Amino acid sequence: MDEQVQLDLVGKCSVYNCFHLKALTRSRTILKSPARNRSRWRVPSVDQVMAEERAAAFGRRSIKTSAKLEGLKLVVSMTDLTTLEGSDTPGKIAFLCRKAMQPLDPRYQVPSCAAVCVYPNLVRIAKKFLEHSSVKVASVATAFPAGLIPAKLKLREVRGAVRDGADEIDMVINRAGFLAGEYERVFDEIAATREACRTAHLKVILETGELQTYDNVRLASEIAMRAGADFIKTSTGKISPAATMPVTLVMLEAIRDYFYETGIRIGMKPAGAIRTAKEALAYLVMVKETLGDDWLTPALFRFGASTLLNDVLMQLVKVVDANYQSADYFSLP
């Protein structure tokens, strides 16, 4: 099939049926000690060459103008507008919240962002500005970004953020524990965090750049989903590499297999290093072709980004007005 096929990201036509994709993984099983009445992890081995070749192909799709406009608006609606810096102030959070609620002039009919993501100590401020909008308040927790403090302190931080009004918690796993083979410990920390979140959604950050192999990414995804994650997320954005298309594809495959097994839909959030509208659209194509149209919604797919939004808005203006504007006409993230 010609790679330059025309794709409609909002389901007006279907190019691939996600139920007939060629699998990227070969299932195998290893024994492990019981954890919450489970005696085995099903651990797939990822075909690295095919994963990387298939991921690269998504960036070569040609998207027609009408679908591109809808796709760009969809990216905006899926964005968790993020600021996680030591220089974050109440004024900066207020500005970010306003931008998330109305990213562009109303005449462009651009939706609000999905969420604003901040440190726990700024949750109350974000909630104050967003409480009458559809934009959620997300907060990183569990000693973001390294996750290396005692578990009881991690849970205290989560409970505090939820108490202050966080709708979503983005937790980090203990990568040192995972790499040491302490899978039960990783599982139990995620499960305890899920309980501490109460009604808030839980996004589990794997920090894939530190997991070393695609097989490890696949296993960490499996652990997170079975421990109660509502979303699995690639990265903190604090190390390199952050989100990549091959890693995201491996995680989407894990979500697909988990859905086939359980009927439960888990969300996906690539975060970090996604900076252009072209890249974001390629991610949407990958989601459509791997999981189908059901996942093309902010309820099941998000972008963690700070600089991405402005490039998407610039492209939107270009498509609508046929006039490419400078970045100087758009506010900083």
Residues annotated catalytic, as ranges = 170, 233, 269
Contact present, 220 and 187 (Cβ < 8 Å): no
- Rounded to the nearest 10°, the torsion over CA 1, 15, 12, 68 is -60
CA distance 179 to 132: 43
The neighbouring-strand residues paired with 62 are: 6
CA distance 283 to 22: 18
Q: Select from 229, 184, 242, 227 the least CA-distant residue to 35.
A: 184
**Which residues contact residue 192 at a Cβ distance below 8 angstroms, ignoring those fewer than 6 apart?**
151, 155
CA distance 158 to 138: 11
CA distance 312 to 111: 12
User: 320 is written with which tokens?
Assistant: 């609508």
User: 238 is written with which tokens?
Assistant: 């604090």
Parallel/antiparallel/unpaired status of strands 25-35 and 38-46:
antiparallel
